[in-house]
Structure 1
Amino acid sequence: MSKKNNSMDSIIGVNSIIKGEVEVKGTIRIDGRFEGIITADWVIIGKTGYVEGKVTASAVMVSGQIIGKVNSSDFVEIKETGKMIGDIETDRIIILEGGRFEGKSIVKRDMSKKKTPELISNN
């Protein structure tokens, strides 16, 4: 999965420890430790990243570790080195070989966008 604009709007570096609530218009990358609530368009958890809390985003990509709840309107992708412990609610969940997920997932697809086949009657 790739984003059209690959720029990082915010980065929490490897040696950073942050507790609290963060809201980002755009993409946030976590390579350090974050405890709390993250709201962003895209959330990328790097291999050294650790998040404990709640993540709300359009898309979430996990190469590190998340413990808590993830709510995504588009997709959650757990990479080969990624680990998610907790609950995921999303339209799509992708777990690559080696990725780990322990918890509950709710895949919510908007069925109103799906075409219903028309019934054809021979009467």
Structure 2
Amino acid sequence: MVAPYFESEQSPVRSKLGKNTVLKGIMQFDHSVRIQGKFEGSIESSGFLFIEEGAVVRAEIKANSIIIGGVVYGNIEASEKVEMLSTGKIYGNVRTAKLKIADGVTFEGKCEMIKRSDRIDIFSQPLQELKKMIQNV
């Protein structure tokens, strides 16, 4: 049921690391990627990442949106949302604007909710608040 959910919620999968794939390195992309195998390194994306049940990822992850059904060892940052499916196991910190956690998830780490503001009014904010806002953009 996970694969149809992924394709209905987001754009069609453009790249996939299959179940028997083991990859180490730096992954950068601006579209959607599905990981079914094993990956170690770092992931940076302005797109969508789906880590399927059975996948194991050891990486620092930054992406627009992330759905986790597999195991992740490392910190996760998503500018839009992180969704943890019931089969997901996350061992690291999560930083995101929106978070959805299903029953049954294993999550060992801290969570920081970030506020995304489309507009920053530089004339009515104290300097310290402006610095915080700019760091979150």
In the superposition, the TM-score normalised over structure 2's length comes to 0.76
Aligned to 2:43: 38
**Distance in 2 separating the partners of 1:111 and 1:56:** 19
What is the root-mean-square deviation of aligned Cα atoms in Å?
A: 1.5
- Which 4+ stretches in 1 moved above 2 angstroms? 110-113
**Distance in 1 separating the partners of 2:63 and 2:96:** 10
More helix by share: 2
Identical amino acids, percent of aligned pairs:
28
How does 1:85-104 map onto structure 2 within 5 Å? 85-104=91-110
How does 1:4-83 map onto structure 2 within 5 Å? 5=11, 7-40=12-45, 41-83=47-89
How far did residue 110 of structure 1 move? 2.7
**Structure 2 residue ranges without an equivalent (≥5):** 120-137
Aligned residues: 111
More strand by share: 1
Q: Which amino acid aligns with 2:88?
A: G
Aligned to 1:105: 111
In the superposition, the TM-score normalised over structure 1's length comes to 0.85
**Structure 1 residue ranges without an equivalent (≥5):** 114-123
